């Protein structure tokens, strides 16, 4: 068990390392760096460019060094919690992002919880009442949920709220709490606003989860031990809970690996549409203005969310499924 | 009753005897047992009614992008400055109780000074019959030669905006048709790229095993654990601004394909791992066939149908990817027009509240995605007709 977890943990670290290289390469891809576009902007406004100041900035942020050196500076900084410097805002990245990282984590976590809470009862119902009217309706809704991209759903909701309730449902807290220190009221306000983006982001994930849980459970329900149990007079509820449901739950948890990247992707675009104070809108902004440290930090953070999340789900799975534990032992 | 112990008379039937009688097949059985694999797949596929309907819709839409210029009543960029944000017009059949053929009523324009909303009303005096097989806006067919033939056009001097117009007075219906040409092909090109990558990389991993397999497996795990959209965003943001629209279009398809192959590669790998132990594979190896030939000639055809089915299921994610990127302004840029580019105009929620038909490009997106999902489901069921 410990051996398995150890190997899984080092795998996670390796993944993060590879991701950091990938992210660094991506943010270096655009021709030039932030300073060149900064200079171009100044020149287009007819301002004199102070050569010395530019050179100073360049050496200050290590832009004159070779790529591997720049990468090392960036990564060691990341590990010490120094997220780099945002050129656009002229502030350290950690100050620019402020609460955004936390709010992103809260948003994504709540969405996952929402998906499980909704998908579980519906999936079980669909499987135990196969081909009933309820099952057909839920399947249809599920397909629609899968096919409607979440940012379009967000757009439709914004439109409906605007037309019928004459309010804006964007944002993640009431206006008076913005840029205010955290207080109980602010937290309550966030909770009040959180559910709409959570539902929007969670829809497609929930639909997929329902379909998978239904398929898994149907497979289990056809097995002979279920028939045996029923013929021995086990009550239906107990029969369902005791074995088939547990078996069907296994992929349910393993599936978080597929779901997490999806949810994080969804939250990025939905946040942009609904202008939530999370990482999404700012990532878009920083990408457009080539603010590379800011963009890099956001990409790293989002990757961190999924990679660590998958590690945790694997740990959970080893607790639940002895077969994985055993495999770990044997392989060692 | 015979006496006990008395032997029975030896009985020989003199009816003609055919030793193969039990193995003779009725014509129906023959049709069933001798059917080719393709035919059996078709039978299996036909049972899935929704998939057949979806296949029809998708084939029709891909067929239509061949003749977009003819199907669209207007040209992609033609502006009607007098009809900015005009609402969808209804097609009428009867004018004042008498049949007048399909026609639309002309629009009168008034600016609502309170809400600053452009308001149009039908003018019942202006009957504008729709023309069929007519000459209208000039276009360059596939950019090759000039023509002005359309399937339907507005009346001479009249207008026909079946899905309304946008902020420049461009006909939404025509723009949707033109947008389909880009959005639908992005998915196809992307899937071709990811298909090739998936087969080559998955094939290497599955056939050689060992450390090659190990490295590729780790790579797949890493790629699969990353959120796709932020990576797509970062990659497409790094496409140089100076690129021509066509280059950007190709760049986007490559970006979409580059991140999608891990799923396919994984499927190829697991199939190959199982199949390479088969006898016919060993035989081919003994006869001196090279790995490329064994994989391509003997192993791949075994599960090609599965691959095609799962590829069909991942086309929608590409179409959605392009739509999302263009919607955010990181993907395709005007003058290239895709559904995502059209939707980008719907980002302005105040405009959408006044002119809701700006959200219409959602419909083809949802229909296409649903269609591919059903089609993929049906294909997956049909891929293995022997079980």
| Contact between B329 and B344 (Cβ < 8 Å) | yes
Q: How far apart are CA A46 and CA A90, in angstroms?
A: 21
Q: What is the mean pLDDT of residues B293-319?
A: 84
User: Least CB-CB distance to A26: which of B222, B234, B352?
Assistant: B234
Q: What is the mean pLDDT of residues A226-244?
A: 85
Flag whether residue B218 sits within 8 Å of chain A, measured between CB atoms.
yes
How distant is the alpha carbon of residue B27 from its chain centre? 39
Report chain A residues whose CB lies below 8 A from the CB of B240.
Answer: 30-31
Q: Whose CA is closest to B304, among B37, B94, B113?
A: B37
Q: What is the ipTM of this complex?
A: 0.80
Flag whether residue A141 sits within 8 Å of chain B, measured between CB atoms.
no
Q: How far apart are CA B154 and CA B83, in angstroms?
A: 14
- Across the interface, do A303 and B226 touch by the CB < 8 Å criterion? yes
User: Chain A residue closest to B372 (CA)?
Assistant: A147
Q: How far apart are CA A313 and CA A11, in angstroms?
A: 14
Write the DSSP symbol of residue A224: H
Flag whether residue A19 sits within 8 Å of chain B, measured between CB atoms.
yes
Task: Pull the structure tokens for residue A239.
Answer: 């029969």
| pLDDT of amino acid A331 | 43
Which of A2-6, A281-285, B257-261 comes out lowest in average pLDDT?
A2-6
User: Least CB-CB distance to A147: which of B218, B222, B366?
Assistant: B366
| Contact between A252 and A243 (Cβ < 8 Å) | no
Strands B145-153 and B92-95: unpaired
- Across the interface, do A158 and B328 touch by the CB < 8 Å criterion? no
- Across the interface, do A143 and B370 touch by the CB < 8 Å criterion? yes
| pLDDT of amino acid A330 | 47
Report chain A residues whose CB lies below 8 A from the CB of B328.
Answer: 269, 272, 284
Å from A241 to nearest chain B CA?
A: 30
- Across the interface, do B226 and A19 touch by the CB < 8 Å criterion? yes
**Percent of chain B having pLDDT more than 70?**
98
User: Chain B residue closest to A156 (CA)?
Assistant: B359
Rounded mean pLDDT of chain A? 78
The Cβ-side half-sphere exposure at B248, using a 13 Å CA radius, reads 24
| Contact between B163 and B357 (Cβ < 8 Å) | yes
Flag whether residue A163 sits within 8 Å of chain B, measured between CB atoms.
yes
Q: What is the pLDDT of residues B29-83, one digit of tens each?
A: 777 777 777 888 888 888 888 889 999 999 999 999 888 888 888 887 778 878 8
Topology (CATH) of B174-383 = MetI-like fold (1.10.3720)
User: Chain B residue closest to A304 (CA)?
Assistant: B226
Would the pLDDT of A69 be above 90? no
In terms of residues, how long is chain B? Answer: 387
Q: Which A-chain residues 234-263 have CB contacts (< 8 A) with chain B?
A: 257, 260-262
Task: Pull the structure tokens for residue A264.
Answer: 């994080």
User: Chain B residue closest to A256 (CA)?
Assistant: B225
Q: How far apart are CA B282 and CA B268, in angstroms?
A: 19
Would the pLDDT of A234 be above 80? yes
Report chain B residues whose CB lies below 8 A from the CB of A307.
Answer: 225
With cut-offs at 50, 70 and 90, classify the pLDDT of residue A47: low
Q: Whose CA is closest to B339, among B319, B357, B353, B369?
A: B319
- Across the interface, do A299 and B234 touch by the CB < 8 Å criterion? yes
Flag whether residue A18 sits within 8 Å of chain B, measured between CB atoms.
yes
User: Least CB-CB distance to B233: which of A22, A31, A284?
Assistant: A284
Query: Of the spans A32-36, B69-73, B286-290, B378-382, which averages the highest pLDDT?
Result: B286-290
Q: Whose CA is closest to B151, among B82, B94, B73, B74?
A: B73
Higher pLDDT, residue A28 or A109? A109
Å from A187 to nearest chain B CA?
A: 27
Flag whether residue A158 sits within 8 Å of chain B, measured between CB atoms.
yes
| pLDDT of amino acid A332 | 38
CB atoms inside a 10 Å sphere around CB B115:
10
User: Least CB-CB distance to B230: which of A257, A299, A307?
Assistant: A299
Which domains can be identified in chain A, with CATH numbers?
A: 102-276 (1.10.3720)
Q: What is the mean pLDDT of residues B7-25?
A: 78
CB neighbour list of residue A74: distance below 8 Å, 6 or more residues apart? A24, A84, A293, A296
Flag whether residue A166 sits within 8 Å of chain B, measured between CB atoms.
no
Residue A33 burial by Cβ neighbours in a 10 Å radius (0-12, 13-18, 19+)? middle
* Helical pair A184-221 and A150-160, crossing angle rounded to 10 deg: 130
User: Least CB-CB distance to A149: which of B323, B329, B359?
Assistant: B323
Flag whether residue A295 sits within 8 Å of chain B, measured between CB atoms.
yes
Higher pLDDT, residue A46 or A272? A272
- Across the interface, do A31 and B240 touch by the CB < 8 Å criterion? yes
Report chain B residues whose CB lies below 8 A from the CB of A306.
Answer: 225-227
Say whether the peptide bond before residue B305 is cis (omega within 30 degrees of 0).
Answer: no
- Across the interface, do A18 and B235 touch by the CB < 8 Å criterion? no
User: Least CB-CB distance to B373: which of A30, A147, A287?
Assistant: A147
Which of A28-32, A161-165, A279-283, B140-144 comes out lowest in average pLDDT?
A28-32
With cut-offs at 50, 70 and 90, classify the pLDDT of residue A32: low
| Contact between B155 and B80 (Cβ < 8 Å) | no
Report chain B residues whose CB lies below 8 A from the CB of A18.
Answer: 222
Give A291-319 as a DSSP string. Answer: -HHHHHHHHHHHHHHHHHHHHHHHHHHHH
Flag whether residue A146 sits within 8 Å of chain B, measured between CB atoms.
yes
- Across the interface, do A151 and B365 touch by the CB < 8 Å criterion? no
Å from B224 to nearest chain A CA?
A: 8
Q: How far apart are CA B71 and CA B87, in angstroms?
A: 21
Å from A236 to nearest chain B CA?
A: 31
Å from B373 to nearest chain A CA?
A: 8
| Contact between B170 and B363 (Cβ < 8 Å) | no
Q: Whose CA is closest to A259, among B225, B259, B232?
A: B225
Report chain B residues whose CB lies below 8 A from the CB of A14.
Answer: 218
User: Chain B residue closest to A296 (CA)?
Assistant: B234
Q: How far apart are CA B331 and CA B110, in angstroms?
A: 36
User: Least CB-CB distance to B230: which of A14, A146, A302?
Assistant: A302
Task: Pull the structure tokens for residue B147.
Answer: 């023509």
User: Least CB-CB distance to B349: which of A152, A158, A295?
Assistant: A158
Would the pLDDT of A297 be above 70? yes
pTM of the model: 0.82
Flag whether residue B284 sits within 8 Å of chain A, measured between CB atoms.
no
B121 bridge partner residues: B108
User: Chain B residue closest to A263 (CA)?
Assistant: B227
User: Least CB-CB distance to A306: which of B226, B240, B356?
Assistant: B226
- The three-class DSSP label of residue A129 is coil
| pLDDT of amino acid B59 | 93
| pLDDT of amino acid B56 | 93
Q: How far apart are CA B242 and CA B311, in angstroms?
A: 33
Flag whether residue A266 sits within 8 Å of chain B, measured between CB atoms.
yes
Would the pLDDT of A182 be above 80? no
- The three-class DSSP label of residue A275 is coil
User: Chain B residue closest to A281 (CA)?
Assistant: B328
| Contact between B146 and B140 (Cβ < 8 Å) | yes
Write the DSSP symbol of residue B117: E
User: Between A and B, how many CB-CB pairs are < 8 A?
Assistant: 129
Q: What is the pLDDT of residues A91-138, one digit of tens each?
A: 777 777 777 888 888 888 889 889 888 888 888 888 888 778 888 888
User: Least CB-CB distance to B327: which of A26, A151, A159?
Assistant: A151
Q: What is the pLDDT of residues B129-167, one digit of tens each?
A: 888 888 877 888 877 888 888 888 887 777 788 888 888
- The three-class DSSP label of residue B18 is coil
Task: Pull the structure tokens for residue B67.
Answer: 């003749």
Ordered by start, the domain boundaries in chain B are 89-160, 174-383
User: Chain B residue closest to A279 (CA)?
Assistant: B230
| Contact between A299 and A26 (Cβ < 8 Å) | yes
Q: What is the pLDDT of residues B219-273, one digit of tens each?
A: 888 887 788 888 888 888 888 778 888 888 898 898 888 888 888 888 888 888 8
């Amino acid at each position: 068990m410990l051996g398995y977890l150890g190997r899984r943990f080092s795998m996670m670290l390796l993944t993060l390392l590879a991701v950091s290289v990938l992210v660094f390469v991506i943010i270096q891809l655009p021709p030039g760096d932030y300073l060149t576009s900064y200079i171009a902007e100044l020149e287009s406004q007819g301002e004199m460019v102070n050569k010395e100041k530019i050179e100073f900035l360049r050496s200050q942020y290590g832009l004159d060094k070779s790529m591997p050196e720049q990468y090392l500076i960036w990564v060691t900084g990341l590990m010490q919690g120094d997220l780099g410097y945002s050129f656009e805002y002229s502030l350290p990245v950690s100050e620019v992002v402020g609460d955004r990282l936390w709010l992103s984590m809260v948003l994504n976590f709540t969405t996952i919880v929402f998906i499980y809470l909704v998908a579980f009862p519906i999936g079980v119902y669909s499987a135990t009442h196969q081909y009933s009217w309820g099952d057909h309706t839920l399947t249809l809704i599920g397909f629609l949920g899968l096919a409607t991209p979440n940012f379009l759903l967000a757009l439709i909701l914004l439109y409906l709220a605007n037309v019928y309730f004459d309010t804006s449902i964007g944002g993640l807290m009431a206006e008076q709490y913005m840029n205010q220190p955290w207080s109980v009221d602010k937290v309550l306000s966030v909770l009040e606003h959180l559910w709409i983006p959570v539902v929007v982001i969670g829809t497609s994930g929930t639909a997929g989860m329902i379909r998978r849980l239904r398929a898994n459970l149907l497979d289990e329900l056809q097995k002979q031990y279920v028939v045996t149990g029923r013929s021995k007079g086990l009550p239906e509820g107990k029969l369902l809970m005791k074995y088939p449901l547990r078996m069907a739950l296994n992929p349910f948890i393993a599936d978080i690996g597929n779901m997490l990247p999806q949810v994080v992707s969804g939250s990025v675009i939905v946040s942009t549409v609904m202008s939530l104070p999370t990482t999404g809108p700012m990532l878009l902004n920083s990408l457009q203005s080539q603010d590379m440290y800011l963009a890099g930090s956001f990409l790293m953070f989002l990757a961190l969310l999924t990679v660590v999340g998958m590690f945790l789900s694997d740990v959970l799975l080893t607790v639940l499924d002895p077969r994985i534990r055993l495999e770990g032992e044997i392989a060692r | 009753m015979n006496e006990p112990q008395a032997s029975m008379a030896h009985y020989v039937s003199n009816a003609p005897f055919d030793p193969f009688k039990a193995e003779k097949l009725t014509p129906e059985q023959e049709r069933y047992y001798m059917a080719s694999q393709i035919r059996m797949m078709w039978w299996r596929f036909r049972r899935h009614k929704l998939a057949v309907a979806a296949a029809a819709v998708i084939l029709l839409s891909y067929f239509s992008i061949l003749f977009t210029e003819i199907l669209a009543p207007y040209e992609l960029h033609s502006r009607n400055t007098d009809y900015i944000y005009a609402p969808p017009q209804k097609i009428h059949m009867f004018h004042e109780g008498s049949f007048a053929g399909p026609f639309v009523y002309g629009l009168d324009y008034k600016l609502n000074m309170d809400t600053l909303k452009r308001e149009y009303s039908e003018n019942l005096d202006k009957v504008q019959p729709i023309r069929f097989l007519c000459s209208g806006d000039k276009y360059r067919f596939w950019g090759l030669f000039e023509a002005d033939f359309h399937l339907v056009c507005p009346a001479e001097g009249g207008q026909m905006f079946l899905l309304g117009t946008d902020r420049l007075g461009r006909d939404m219906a025509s723009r949707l048709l033109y947008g389909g040409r880009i959005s639908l092909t992005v998915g196809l090109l992307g899937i071709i790229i990811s298909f090739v990558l998936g087969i080559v990389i998955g094939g290497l991993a599955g056939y050689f095993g060992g450390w090659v397999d190990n490295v590729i497996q780790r790579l797949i795990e890493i790629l699969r654990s990353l959120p796709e959209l932020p990576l797509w965003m970062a990659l497409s943001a790094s496409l140089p601004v100076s690129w021509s629209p066509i280059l950007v279009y190709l760049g986007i398809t490559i970006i979409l394909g580059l991140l999608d192959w891990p799923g396919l590669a994984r499927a190829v790998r697991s199939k190959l791992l199982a199949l390479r132990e088969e006898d016919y594979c060993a035989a081919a190896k003994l006869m001196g066939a090279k790995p490329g030939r064994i994989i391509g000639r003997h192993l791949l055809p075994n599960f090609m149908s599965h691959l095609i089915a799962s590829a069909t299921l991942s086309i929608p994610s590409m179409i959605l990817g392009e739509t999302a990127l263009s919607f955010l302004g990181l993907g395709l840029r005007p003058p290239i027009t895709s559904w995502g580019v059209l939707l980008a105009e719907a980002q302005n929620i105040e405009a959408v509240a006044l002119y809701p038909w700006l959200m219409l490009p959602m419909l083809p997106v949802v229909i296409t995605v649903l269609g591919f999902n059903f089609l993929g489901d049906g294909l997956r069921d049909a891929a293995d007709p022997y079980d």
